[in-house]
Amino acid sequence: MTKSETIKVGVRIPGETADYQILCGSGLLENTGDIVRMALGEDVRRVAVISNRKVFGLYGEAVERSLKRAGISAGSFMIGDGERFKTLRTAEKILGFFNTAGIKRGDAVIALGGGVVGDAAGFAASLHLRGVRLVQIPTTLLAMIDSSVGGKTGVNSSFGKNLIGTFHQPAAVIADVSVLATLDRRGMSAGLFEAVKHGAISSEKLLRTTEKMIDARNRDPRLNGAETQAVFAKGIAEHVRFKASIVKGDAREAVTATGNRSRKILNFGHTLAHALELATEYRYLKHGEAVGHGVLFAAELSKRLELLPANSIKSLNDVVHRVGSLPPVDKISFEAVFSAISNDKKSRGGSIDWVLLEGIGRPVIVSDAKFPKGILRTALRDHLMSTL
């Protein structure tokens, strides 16, 4: 298989001591050791590789072999597979492993997996010895375009999703599109729904790039062809460039920032997504699927509030449906979802800043204190009952 050209996206976050690079291409895993050395310097001695059995079974050996070749010793630790394992308990187990493996301040952590591994391992890395360096090796599309970039780490709890967490920027991100070959269709669709979210808030251009990725996946579901891999490497680079451009202006998601370049805009679709996930105990929907529902819902709410014209909502809905069908939500209790949104509201001081749209690439933050009475309830009832 011909390898696609490696694209490097540099990220500079004001106030952070080091810049980092995101590498997008195919066949990068076999160069993990050299990339880690380049990013962390010659003194790196030992790394802790955090993964799960499924991903490590597929790619762990290639990563460890490459690290060994570069003279870096590695110890690995597996966490449970799935959203329900993104917990404080898991983070505590990872921290225990760092201690027994003797991970020192100059050493590093590698997160090899999807967003669950990346968020949990990143959270533990930010706590161990008050912070050790982190290299993200995202292995799902969602993790490549979103969760591995920008430094948000965290775990879920009974209080809600991702409410416990830290900001801890990675030292490098290695996005090797070849690993997407083993992702199942549902997993790939989950990433594509999150990609549509980026397109919607960024620009027509990124939405069109996302459509190219969707079409390439539909033609070549295993992403086997060099051409498909190149479409993905370029597409992922464009997505992370957009995400980095937002993060660098508002790395810690300032509470007071409400402009259309605030980091809050990256949460487009997430208010409903998180409520759906909490209401179904993180077991029914993949995060990206919940975001797919959230994108459709936020667009519909924007239309009902007369912010978004009908043609824009149609074009967005078409792209979501091109990805594939979303799991139905008609069996999910309205009260459970509404109360998850209301609890979120309480924890945010009585109102929620919804990310809505005035057009493709024109996000706007609107407090629900300004919504006409009852609009949220009605729109939510309609969404849960709609056959998608």
> 277 is written with which tokens?
């996930």
Q: Cβ distance 272 to 297 under 8 Å?
A: yes
> What mask, x for binding ligand NAD by CB under 6 A, covers residues 128 to 157?
-----------xx-xx--xx--x-x-----
Candidate ranges 112-120, 248-256, 308-316, 331-339; the one touching ligand NAD (CB under 6 A): 112-120
> Does 179 contact ligand NAD by CB under 6 A?
yes
The Cα–Cα gap between 234 and 208 comes to 13
Please, what is the minimum distance in Å from the beta carbon of residue 386 to ligand NAD? 24
Find the residue with minimal CB distance to ligand NAD: 115
Nearest distance in Å: CB 165, ligand NAD: 8
In eight-state DSSP terms, residue 3 is P
Closest among 24, 46, 57, 14 to 172, alpha carbons compared: 24
Q: Does 114 bind ligand NAD (CB under 6 A)?
A: yes
239 is catalytic: no
Amino acid letter at 306? Answer: E
Rounded CA-CA distance 272/292 in Å is 10
Q: Which positions from 271 to 290 touch ligand NAD by CB under 6 A, shown as an x/- string?
A: ---------------xxx--
Q: Quick check: is 152 catalytic?
A: yes
Q: What would the x/- binding string for ligand NAD be over residues 1 to 40, using CB under 6 A?
A: ----------------------------------------
Mark whether 227 is an active-site residue.
Answer: no
| Binding residues vs ligand GLY (CB under 6 A) | 146, 150, 152, 263, 266-267
With binding defined as CB under 6 A, does residue 239 bind ligand NAD?
Answer: no
- The reply to whether 243 belongs to the active site is yes
Closest CB 139 distance from ligand NAD, rounded Å? 3
Q: Which of ligand GLY, ligand NAD, none interacts with 115 (beta carbon under 5 to 8 A by kind)?
A: ligand NAD
- Comparison of 243 and 303: residue with beta carbon closer to ligand GLY: 243
Choosing among ligand NAD, ligand GLY, none, which partner's interface includes residue 199 (Cβ < 5 to 8 Å by kind)?
Answer: none
173 or 380: CB nearest ligand NAD: 173
81 binds, among ligand GLY, ligand NAD, none (CB under 5 to 8 A by kind): ligand NAD
**Strand order from edge to edge, sheet including 108-113:** 7-11, 20-25, 172-176, 133-138, 108-113, 46-52, 73-79
Residue 275 · residue 156 · CB < 8 Å: no
Answer yes or no: 270 catalytic. Answer: yes
Nearest to 377 by CA among 334, 340, 336: 334
Among 106, 39, 103, 109, smallest CA distance to 79 is for 109
Question: CA nearest 285: which of 293, 137, 145?
Answer: 293
Q: For ligand GLY, give the closer residue by CB, 146 or 176.
A: 146
In 225-246, which positions are buried (b, 16+ CB within 10 angstroms) versus exposed (e)? eeebbbbbbbbbbbbbbbbbeb
Phi and psi at residue 78, in whole multiples of 5°? -100, 135
Among 25, 60, 187, 324, binds ligand NAD (CB under 6 A): 187
Residues 6 or more apart in contact with residue 18 via CB below 8 angstroms: 171
Dist CA 32 CA 47 (whole Å): 12
**Is 238 annotated as catalytic?**
no
Active-site annotation, residues:
130, 152, 194, 243, 253, 263, 267, 270, 274, 287
